[in-house]
Structure formats: C-alpha cells, structure tokens
Structure 1
Amino acid sequence: MELDFSALLLGFQFTSPGPTIVQIGPITIRWYGLLIASAVLIGVSLSQYLAKRRQVNPELISDLSIWLVIGAIPAARIYYVLFEWSEYAQHPERIVAIWQGGIAIHGAIIGGAIAAVIFAKLKNISFWQLADLVAPSLILGQAIGRWGNFFNSEAFGSPTNLPWKLYIPPERRPSSFVNFEYFHPTFLYESVWNLMVFALLLTLFFMAVSGKLRLKVGTLFLVYWVAYSLGRVWIEGLRTDSLMLGDLRIAQLVSLFGIMLGLAGLAWLYVVKRPLPDVVSPYQK
C-alpha cells in the first residue's frame, strides 16, 4: 500500500477543543487560566535557578514574582481594554472577565517593569540584574501563554490554505472573513519564535556564567526586547484582530520603538560603556 504523504500534510489543521477544560457546578477551569498559572510557576522556578547560577539570592525571585503578577496582569488587561474601549464601554461587566482572553503582552511588560523598578529600589538591588534573571522566564511564559489564544480561538491571522491552517468557528470570525474557515495560526508562529528567543537567551546566559563570553549586566533583557520585538513586527502584520490606532497597528509601533530602544540600550552598555558591571562567572574568580 502506498501512502500519499502530501495528502496527509495538506489535510492537517489545528482545531481548538474550546476554552474550557472542565466545569463542575459553578467552578470552571479554563485553558487560559491554567496556561498563565503554569507559565508563572515554571518561570519562577527557572529564574530562581538562574539566580543561583549568578550568585543572587533566589528568595528575591520569589518575592519579585508576587510584585510582577500584581503589576503585569492588571496592566495587561487595562492596556487591552483602553484600546478596545468602544466595545467594553457597551459591556462594562466584561472588563474584569480576563478568563475570556484579552490581555496585551506590551501592557504586561510595562506593568511588570514598573513593579520591578519599585521592588529593586526597596531591596537595594540592580533592576538590570533582576531583568536579566527574569527575561528567559518571561519569553518562555509568552511562548506558553500564546496557546491560550489557540483554545480561545483568538489572535489568529488572515485566511489561508497552508498545511498548518487553523480552523476558526463561525462565531469567532471577523465579519469581513465570515465565509472563510481557515486562518494563519499566528499564536503558533509567535510561540515558536519565542522559544527560539528563549534558546538564544539561555545560550548567552550559560556562556557568560561559564566564562566563555563577557556580557554586561542588562544585556539579556535588552536582547530579549529586541529579539521578541523583531518577531512581533512581522507576525502582527498577519493578524486580523490587532489593537489599532487609526490605521496603525499598536503592537507594531510599540515593537519598532522597542527595537530602537533595545539597540540604543546595547550601544549604551558596549559602546558608550556606562558603568554597569560584567556578569561575574565563578570561573573568573
């Protein structure tokens, strides 16, 4: 018997099983919440491990994580609601319904950064040191969290018939694409991109702590910001549900600004040579 692999490939598609894992009476467990909780737990554990390798007290990461959650999640929701205010103004009861989706990573980064700056000041530790330790966990969490978009059938791209197409149920399709069934799985594109950025950051981290590469404190966070933003610029261009400012996609504007800011920060570290210290390797003592 001869198998037609091209037919098998062309027949492949992503289909979401829906946003709910299980519902027991009034209690509903949703994929979105589970993924966010998992990303936080994995991220805290990873950052604690990285802190040990940089000889930073890992208990600081436990304390910082609470600040980050308090700062990031509400800011991510507020950011999203502000740019979709015309919709939420008509349904104000949905503003707090974060389990239905609708958070913006750029809002989370802004809120988390503000919380981290305050925490660093109170604990008398370098913000840049903390940012480096959190950056790999942050991009990994973004890779995990993007699958929440899959289960909610949101954050998808334009119509496509590519082999890895994503089926979107009629009630979730934009009105202009109501007759199309399959769309670009932009959640998958960004998740894969984020995993590649995660691998890059870990490679740089372990090369630095092993003494194979000299890095300034703050480098990992700035590389994260530039690399993530590069991917977001082109992926956002495929999406059908972008937050808009007139005819401009907000995420693309913020990402382009982030690229410029990140590159300026790297120049500040390595060209202007501002006095942030090198990452200390145990092998260099």
Structure 2
Amino acid sequence: MNAFGIFALILGILLILASFSFLIKDTYSFCKNAILVRLEKKEAIRYAIYAIGSAIGFTLLFLSAFLLHPEWANITKHTTGVYEGESINYVGNYALTLFGSFFFGASLAIFVPSFWIHLAKEKLNDVQKKWVRILYYVSIPFLFFSFWMWSEGLANYLYYPLPNGFAINNDGFMITTSANRAEGFHIAFYGVVILLGALMCLFLSDQRMYRRYHKHGLLEMIFVVAFPAGIIGARVWYVVGNWSREFAHRDFYHVFEIWNGGLTILGGAFFGILVGALMAKYSKKGLDARWTVDEVVPTVLIGQAIGRWGNFFNNEVYGRAVSVDYFRFLPTWLVEQMHISTSGSSSLTAGPGMIYVPLFLIESVLSIIGYFLIQYVVGLLLKKWTSKGDRVGCYFLWYGLVRFILEPFRDSNFNMGTDNAWSICNSLIYVLLGVAIIAAAHLHDYYVKNKKGDFFPLVSAGLLLPTFLFPLLPSLTTSSMRDGEGEIHSYGGYQLISKGETPLFLAAFILLLVATLVFVASYFVLKKSKKAGYYCLLAGAALSFIGTMLYIFGKNVNHF
C-alpha cells in the first residue's frame, strides 16, 4: 500500500510539472506571436490535454496522502481541538479530497492560460476573446470552491497550529509553528505573504499603467524604493506605538529585530505611498503623477488583503473568544487554527467549543470589497464627478474606517500600546487624511479652473481644526506612562494639557494652534506679496508636521 502511495505521489508530481511546463511554453509562444490572432483546433485540444493532465496529477498527489496514512481510517472522532468529541467521516473526507483535487487541477490549468492571454494578447479573434474572458472569470470561483473541497477533506488529519515557516540551524531543517520557534536562519510565512501582497500590487498597477502608456515596467524602480520604505515605516510605527509596552525597558537592538514580527500596516502603507508618490512625481518624467498615484494606491488594498494572512499563520491579532457555532461555515483548518491561543495566557486554546474571532479574515474581505468599490464604482461609475486623487483619498478613508471599526474588537493582548488608543487614533487620522485629500483634489481643480490660487491657506487651516477635537475624547487620547515604580498611569483629554503631564503633548497642541493661525495669516499675506505668502505657507506646513510628530511621541513621554 505504501509502495503504491509513493508511486502515486511521484506520478502526480510528474504529471503536474509536465502539464504546466508545456502549458506555460505554449501560452508564452502564443502571446508573443503578433501574427497569430486565434487558437487553432489542434492547439485548443492540447490545452484540454494539459487540463486533464493537471487534474489527474493533483488527484494522484492527494490520493497519495491517504494511501501513505492508512491510520487515518481508524480516526472516527476528534480527540482534540475545537470540535473535540464530534465524529469524523473518513469516506466522506476521502471523496471530498479526491473530487476537490481533480477540479482544482483542472480549474488551475484553465485559469493560468486564460488569465495570461486575457492580459497579454493584444490582438485576438473577437469570438475567442469572449471565450477566453468567460473561461477566466468562470475558473476563479471553481478554483476557490475546489480548494475548499480538498482542504476540507484533509483538515481533520492535520496538526495545529499549522506551520508558519521553516528554519535551518545546527539541528538541520525544521518546520516552525506559532508554538515552536527555532533559532538560526528562519524564513517566516508572514514575510513571504507580505512580499506576495506587494508583488500583487505591482502586478495590478503595472497592468493599469500599460493600458495608458502601452509599456510594462514603468513602476519597477518605484516599487524597489517604496516597498522597503513601507517596511521601515511599518516597523517605526509599531515601535513607537508599542514603546512603553515592549521596548522601553529592553536593549535598543530589539528595535531592529523585524524577523520576530512587529509591523503595522497603517505606518507601512502611509510611508510606502508617500515615497512612491514622490518618486512618481520627481523621478519619472513623462508620467502623469497625479493620475498614476490615483490608479496605483487602491491596489494597496489587495496587497493588504493578502498580507493579513500572515497573521493567520502566526496566530496573532485576533479578536475575542466566541462560540464556534458562529463560524461553522468557515473551513475546518481555519477554525482549528483560530482555536489556538498565542496571547501569553495560561491556556493554550480559546477553550472548549470556542475560537478567536478571525479579524484578519474580516479585514482581508473588507479590503477586497474596498478595492472593487474604489476602482470600479468610484473610478468608473462615478468618473464624471470625480477628480484625480479621489481614489487615493477613498483608500485612506475606507481603510481608516475599517480599522476604526475593527480595532476595539481585538484581543487586548494584541493592542498597540497599553490601551490600543494608538491604533484607533491612527485610524481616525487615516479617515481625516482621506477626507482632506478628496477635498483638496476637488478644490484644486475648481480653483485652477477659475484661476484662483489663494484658497490653499484657508483650506489648510480648516483641515487642522479637527485635530483640536482629539483631546476632547479621552478614549482616543489616553497616554500610558510609567513612574519610578514601574506602574502605569493613564491621563485623558485636556487633563494632559492643563496639568502638564506630557510636555510634548502640550507643545504639539500649541504648535498646531500656531500653524492654524499662520495659515489664516498667509491668506492675507498672499494678497500683498506672493513671496512672503509662500514663506508663510512653508512655516505653517513645518509647524503642522512638527506638531503632528510631537502628538505621536507625546503619548509615551511624561517628562523631558
């Protein structure tokens, strides 16, 4: 039986490799040949053979898992995990895995060439173009459904928590999980997933750029700079937000241990977008920077949707423990993974019949929804009423709202800082920034059209006014500080200002107040002297930036 299982494993792998090798070769040749505008019957038959070969290959691959583990037939009920005590249907799982793997292999072999031809083949027979588009769109739901089938069939025989990476050290090659971290050279799926998300952003953005400029690779240099900038921003934001809780009483080199986790999307997205926008404007001549940023920024939501699955592998940033009955519709492997606790509590699980709310999944789905709403509703259906920059603003607005809604539901062990105010405040800043970008885009177009340019100072002053509302909301401005005994004291609202508990916070408030007055004054100065008004605007911008930074750092400093 084991010999047959090994034979099925080897044959399955060979069939998959052969099918996709020929499939990729033929598709590449067809897309590169400008003379060919249609697939002949002989070529279509070859693609059908590749799909059948892939389907059989995946079926044999997963069949080998059951053949190599005959002991699975003796497992009749769950002995551990969230479904402990419930029965397991071996025959049903066997059939589900085989059917799912067959359709998964076929769907994948249909999706890859149809997607490739749909994007890369400019000249194609109209009838075949229609069929390629149909196959492309139909294969996507089949891929997801068939993946669910075979993964559900295998889920009851896996070990949890699932692997989250691998390490190579003196002990050799080791598979790691959230409960088993090894020393040495470690590749974490968390980082791999983030990289895949970033590459998906680049791919989607490149396709959008190609539609206008008919050239690929225009964003590669921007990506090479913006992606590391985003990683640095994500780490800086995490360190600043978690300084009191995680870094204040440790050696400073821990700040740089990015491989141990500790990134925040809010900071990473902001820095990555900022650096990318500046490069698009100043390093890429011939590009409409404003249009480019408007096309590219919404794709960040897809990258974030993929990147959030890094939290799944690490068993982190989940919500509170709830009954599994609310989430039985989810795949078994996902539910079992969400049953595991990594919060540092005495219990290793959420409890009998309980799982942690998969906030990563909720945010991932909402990010995908946000992408399609921004790109196709705002970008296409509402195009008549939008300005360049609206979709950038919509990105910040959408993601800020999503995080603002989800943050309070986090398990408290994964809060940023000691009270989670850091993430909530940043979410609100995203919302305000989104509104500001949309308003600025429309006002800019309106005043340029009407040849008026003195609106900026008053708009800037108006956008600063909401910052004075933050101290009115104690739940958003609580500052956690440690005294000589190491105890944590919390202060909220204008108490921070009136009692001088945090001088940096007080200084930030004063600087933003002065910046508002400077912007208002520059409106009148511009009417007298453009040069003097320009310097006033620079002064207001500098004061605003410094004040914002002091707001951020002032949350963690209670004395100079």
Q: Shared fold (TM-score greater than 0.5)?
A: yes
Structure 2 counterpart of 1:19, from 164, 171, 189: 164
The corresponding residue for 1:193 is 366
Give the match's secondary structure for 1:262.
helix
Tell me the distance in 2 between the aligned counterparts of 1:91 and 1:157.
Answer: 30
Structure 2 counterpart of 1:233, from 401, 404, 407: 404
Equivalent residue runs for 1:1-285 within 5 Å: 16-21=161-166, 23=168, 25=173, 27-55=185-213, 58-86=216-244, 87-88=246-247, 89-90=249-250, 92-119=252-279, 120-124=281-285, 125-162=287-324, 163-164=326-327, 166-169=338-341, 172-175=342-345, 180-181=350-351, 182-204=355-377, 207=380, 213=384, 215-240=386-411, 241-244=414-417, 247-270=419-442, 273-274=445-446
CA deviations on 1:59-79 (whole Å, 9 max, x unpaired) are 331111011112110111121
Against the structure 1 CA distance between its residues 78 and 144, is the aligned structure 2 distance closer, same or farther, given a 3 Å change threshold?
Answer: same
1:268·1:274 contact (CA, 8 Å) conserved in 2? no
With 87-96 and 172-181 compared, the bigger mean Cα shift is at 172-181
Give the match's secondary structure for 1:199.
helix
Question: What amino acid is the match of 1:157?
Answer: G
Q: List 4+ stretches of structure 1 deviating above 4 A.
A: 21-27, 124-127, 176-179, 211-214, 274-277
Question: What amino acid is the match of 1:173?
Answer: S
With 188-197 and 109-118 compared, the bigger mean Cα shift is at 109-118
CA deviations on 1:99-143 (whole Å, 9 max, x unpaired) are 332101111123213312431223355543332222232110100
Alpha-carbon distance, 1:51 to partner: 1.2
Tell me the distance in 1 between the aligned counterparts of 2:270 and 2:211.
Answer: 27
Question: What amino acid is the match of 2:193?
Answer: L
Tell me the distance in 2 between the aligned counterparts of 1:212 and 1:50.
Answer: 16
Against the structure 1 CA distance between its residues 260 and 206, is the aligned structure 2 distance closer, same or farther, given a 3 Å change threshold?
Answer: closer
Alpha-carbon distance, 1:180 to partner: 3.7
1:217·1:276 contact (CA, 8 Å) conserved in 2? no
Give the match's secondary structure for 1:107.
helix
Give 1 or 2: higher helix fraction. 2
The corresponding residue for 1:282 is none
CA deviations on 1:158-200 (whole Å, 9 max, x unpaired) are 221143362123xx12449877443111111111111111121
1:132·1:218 contact (CA, 8 Å) conserved in 2? yes
Give the match's secondary structure for 1:237.
helix
1:101·1:152 contact (CA, 8 Å) conserved in 2? no
Tell me the distance in 2 between the aligned counterparts of 1:179 and 1:22.
Answer: 25
Against the structure 1 CA distance between its residues 97 and 275, is the aligned structure 2 distance closer, same or farther, given a 3 Å change threshold?
Answer: farther
Unaligned runs of 5+ in 2: 1-82, 87-151, 174-183, 328-334, 450-560
Against the structure 1 CA distance between its residues 153 and 275, is the aligned structure 2 distance closer, same or farther, given a 3 Å change threshold?
Answer: farther
Alpha-carbon distance, 1:250 to partner: 1.5
Tell me the distance in 2 between the aligned counterparts of 1:275 and 1:127.
Answer: 20
The count of corresponding residues between Structure 1 and Structure 2 is 264
Alpha-carbon distance, 1:270 to partner: 3.4
TM-score (norm 1): 0.79
1:72·1:111 contact (CA, 8 Å) conserved in 2? yes
With 183-192 and 252-261 compared, the bigger mean Cα shift is at 252-261
Tell me the distance in 2 between the aligned counterparts of 1:80 and 1:55.
Answer: 38
Tell me the distance in 1 between the aligned counterparts of 2:319 and 2:203.
Answer: 33
Unaligned runs of 5+ in 1: 1-7, 278-285
